Structure 1
Amino acid sequence: MRARVDGDFEDMDIQRLADTAAAEIEAHCGLALLGQVVTVTLQAWCKRIPLAIGPFWPEGLADHPVTVELLDEAGNITPHPAGWWITPGRYPVLNLTASVHGAALRIRYPAGYGTRTDSIPPDLQLAIADHAAMLYDARGFDDEMPQGLSMAAARIAARHRRVAI
């Protein structure tokens, strides 16, 4: 990392850059770094539904249980009448035991590594710090600095991205 910081008068700006770097890593990887509730609404689905944001956060279930609901054309909401279960992990999957029809299916589930920043894997913490340092050093430059993630952050993030065919 290469951020050249003198003093603490820019701490709030640096925190904003770190938050921005974390958000960019989340978007790039399809991750929830810190615990949060993800809501997905689908108009078409099958019995096996890969969930876009991971990892599944089992510790969050006490406060944020998984809900699977059907929405009809009028916007009425009913719990999904058939059984279902979640395959947890980095790439969670909702598995429905039966096909049920409706206008939409809404799924809410907890995702993230935990509630504290030290619950984020160390390599992703480094990616956030390196990318924040690049953003800090790029202040005031318009066209001279490369766009996108820092090279180190991109390499680290590549290990956490979902690959699909």
Structure 2
Amino acid sequence: MKVLDLRCDAGHVFEGWFASEEDYQGQRSRGLLQCPMCNSCAVEKALSAPRLKAKSNRRLDGDAVPVASAVAAPSEAQILAQLHARWLAHARAVLREGENVGDAFADEARRIHSGEAPERLIHGQASVQEVVELLQEGVPVLPLPEAASEPLQ
């Protein structure tokens, strides 16, 4: 049995067990190797320390073989919480730094998109119909969450 340290293109290090070097090569060439943390199929062998067998009557406490440590993958809940926090921070920045154009949002967004008005960060109010029309015209708009305008406790 061959135990190999593997690394994906995202830098996650994990262990793979193979019957032989040929088994590893065969699985890799068929795209069967996958990172357990990010599901990337771009997997390569990582450098690993050799595993030397010491004499059975001797133990070298100071010569421990370093083992590659795997990066702990965040849970789905942690990822969602991070994304929500980033989105809320971005929305608050838009409200803080952008120009409030009020009910003229749709018209001003069109003017900026067409180059008639200087490009800048704006926010305001638009109806659902206006938002749909803006998106159909290729004008990038996003609704800001109400929590963005609420003060932090």
Task: Answer whether TM exceeds 0.5 for this pair.
Answer: no
Larger radius of gyration: 2
Between Structure 1 and Structure 2, the one with more helix by share is 2
Larger strand share, 1 or 2: 1
TM class by shorter chain equals under 0.3
